[in-house]
Structure 1
Amino acid sequence: MISKVFMKENLGFKEAKLEISKGLTVFTGLSGAGKSILFKGILSAFALSESEAKVVELELDDELKLEDYGIESEEENVFKLLKEKNTKYFINNQSIAKKSLQNLSKSFVRYLGAKENNEFSNEKFLKLLDTLEIQNNSKFKEFLDEFERDFEDYTKISSELNQILEEEKKVEELKEVAKIQIEKIESINPKVGEYEELLELKKKLSKKDKLQEAWDKASVIFEFEKAVVDALNLSDKDPTFFSECLNELRLIAENEKMEDFDFDIEKILDRIENLSFLIKRYDSIENALHTLDQKKRELEHYENLSFEKKELEKKFENIKNKIEKNAKILTQTRRSNLEKLQNDLNNYLRNLYMENAILDLDGNKSISSIGKDEIVLNINLANLKNLSSGELNRLRLAFIATECKILNQGKGILFLDEIDANLSGKEAMSIAKVLDELSNFYQIFAISHLPQLSSKAHNHFLIEKNGDESFVKKLNQEERVRELARMVSGEKISEEALEFAKTLI
Structure 2
Amino acid sequence: MQRLYLKELLTFAESELEFDSGLVVLTGPSGAGKSVLMQSVLSSFGHGGGEAKICEVTLDKPEKINSEAYELDDELTIRSLKKDRIRFYLNGQNISKKALQALFVSSIKYLSVRDKGGFESAVLLDLLDDSLKSRNKSYKKLIKEYQQRYKHYNIKLSELFKIKEDEKKLSELIEFTTYEIEKIKEIDPKNGEDEELIRIKQQLSKIDKINDALLQSNMIFESESSILEVFRLLGKDETYFADTMSQLRIDFEETQSLTEELADINVEEILDRLEKISGLKNRYGSIGETLDYLVLKEKELTAYQMIEQDKSTLESFLSLEYNELMILAQRISRSRQKEAKKIEERLAVYLKDLKLPRVKFIFEGVNLLPLGIDHVDILMGHSVTSTLSGGEFNRLRLALLVIAMEEKREEGGVIILDEIDANVSGDESIAIASMISKLSSVYQIFAISHQAHLSALADQHILVGKVSGNSYVKVLNEEERIVEISRIIGGEKSNKEAIAFAKMLRAKV
Tell whether the structures are fold-level matches, with TM greater than 0.5: yes
Deviating beyond 6 angstroms after TM superposition, the runs of 4 or more aligned structure 1 residues are 184-192, 267-273, 288-291
- In the TM superposition, residue 445 of structure 1 has moved relative to its aligned partner by 0.8
The residue identity in structure 2 corresponding to 1:125 is L
CA deviation profile, 1:235-260 (whole Å, cap 9, x unmatched):
xxxxxxxxxxxxxxxxxxxxxxxxxx
1:394 and 2:395 are equivalent in the alignment: yes
CA deviation profile, 1:344-375 (whole Å, cap 9, x unmatched):
2333222222222221112x201012210111
- In the TM superposition, residue 148 of structure 1 has moved relative to its aligned partner by 1.3
**Which of the numbers 308, 318, 321 marks the counterpart of 2:320?**
318
Are the counterparts in 1 of residues 64 and 107 from structure 2 also a CA contact under 8 Å? no
List gaps (5 residues or longer) in structure 1: 199-263
1:92 and 2:91 are equivalent in the alignment: yes
Which residue number corresponds to residue 173 of structure 1? 172
Specify whether residues 486 and 167 from structure 1 end up closer, same or farther in structure 2 by C-alpha distance, changes over 3 A only.
closer
Distance 2:285 2:377 in 1: 63
The residue identity in structure 1 corresponding to 2:475 is K
Distance 1:409 1:389 in 2: 24
- In the TM superposition, residue 189 of structure 1 has moved relative to its aligned partner by 9.3
Which residue number corresponds to residue 108 of structure 1? 107
Are the counterparts in 2 of residues 24 and 444 from structure 1 also a CA contact under 8 Å? yes
- In the TM superposition, residue 396 of structure 1 has moved relative to its aligned partner by 1.9
Are the counterparts in 1 of residues 113 and 393 from structure 2 also a CA contact under 8 Å? no
Specify whether residues 172 and 469 from structure 1 end up closer, same or farther in structure 2 by C-alpha distance, changes over 3 A only.
closer
1:482 and 2:465 are equivalent in the alignment: no
List gaps (5 residues or longer) in structure 2: 196-269
- In the TM superposition, residue 184 of structure 1 has moved relative to its aligned partner by 6.6
TM-score (norm 1): 0.77
Specify whether residues 41 and 268 from structure 1 end up closer, same or farther in structure 2 by C-alpha distance, changes over 3 A only.
same
Specify whether residues 277 and 63 from structure 1 end up closer, same or farther in structure 2 by C-alpha distance, changes over 3 A only.
farther
Which residue number corresponds to residue 328 of structure 1? 330
- In the TM superposition, residue 444 of structure 1 has moved relative to its aligned partner by 1.0
TM-score (norm 2): 0.76
Are the counterparts in 1 of residues 26 and 449 from structure 2 also a CA contact under 8 Å? yes
Which residue number corresponds to residue 246 of structure 2? none
Which residue number corresponds to residue 455 of structure 1? 456
Specify whether residues 101 and 184 from structure 1 end up closer, same or farther in structure 2 by C-alpha distance, changes over 3 A only.
farther
- In the TM superposition, residue 449 of structure 1 has moved relative to its aligned partner by 1.3
The structure that has the greater radius of gyration is 2
1:146 and 2:145 are equivalent in the alignment: yes
SS in 1 for 2:397: helix
Number of residue pairs the alignment of both structures matches:
432
- In the TM superposition, residue 407 of structure 1 has moved relative to its aligned partner by 4.2
CA deviation profile, 1:353-405 (whole Å, cap 9, x unmatched):
2222221112x201012210111212211132322222222222222222222
Are the counterparts in 2 of residues 410 and 441 from structure 1 also a CA contact under 8 Å? yes
- In the TM superposition, residue 472 of structure 1 has moved relative to its aligned partner by 0.5
1:464 and 2:468 are equivalent in the alignment: no
The residue identity in structure 1 corresponding to 2:62 is E
Specify whether residues 347 and 175 from structure 1 end up closer, same or farther in structure 2 by C-alpha distance, changes over 3 A only.
same
CA deviation profile, 1:456-500 (whole Å, cap 9, x unmatched):
111110111110211101111222122112211223333332222
Q: What are the equivalent positions in structure 2 for 1:206-225 lying under 5 Å apart?
A: none
Are the counterparts in 1 of residues 131 and 409 from structure 2 also a CA contact under 8 Å? no
Distance 2:362 2:132 in 1: 18
Are the counterparts in 2 of residues 416 and 447 from structure 1 also a CA contact under 8 Å? yes
SS in 2 for 1:487: helix
Which residue number corresponds to residue 353 of structure 1? 355
Q: What are the equivalent positions in structure 2 for 1:373-388 lying under 5 Å apart?
A: 373-388=374-389
- In the TM superposition, residue 187 of structure 1 has moved relative to its aligned partner by 8.3
Distance 1:25 1:188 in 2: 88
Specify whether residues 151 and 63 from structure 1 end up closer, same or farther in structure 2 by C-alpha distance, changes over 3 A only.
same
SS in 2 for 1:101: helix
Are the counterparts in 2 of residues 131 and 407 from structure 1 also a CA contact under 8 Å? no
Are the counterparts in 1 of residues 116 and 386 from structure 2 also a CA contact under 8 Å? no
Specify whether residues 50 and 170 from structure 1 end up closer, same or farther in structure 2 by C-alpha distance, changes over 3 A only.
closer
The residue identity in structure 2 corresponding to 1:442 is Y
Specify whether residues 311 and 486 from structure 1 end up closer, same or farther in structure 2 by C-alpha distance, changes over 3 A only.
same
Distance 2:417 2:374 in 1: 31
- In the TM superposition, residue 331 of structure 1 has moved relative to its aligned partner by 1.6
Distance 2:189 2:23 in 1: 79
Distance 1:153 1:416 in 2: 41
Superposition CA RMSD, Å: 3.3
Specify whether residues 278 and 68 from structure 1 end up closer, same or farther in structure 2 by C-alpha distance, changes over 3 A only.
farther
Distance 1:450 1:39 in 2: 18
Distance 1:191 1:465 in 2: 98
Are the counterparts in 2 of residues 358 and 381 from structure 1 also a CA contact under 8 Å? no
Distance 1:135 1:191 in 2: 73
Distance 1:480 1:289 in 2: 93
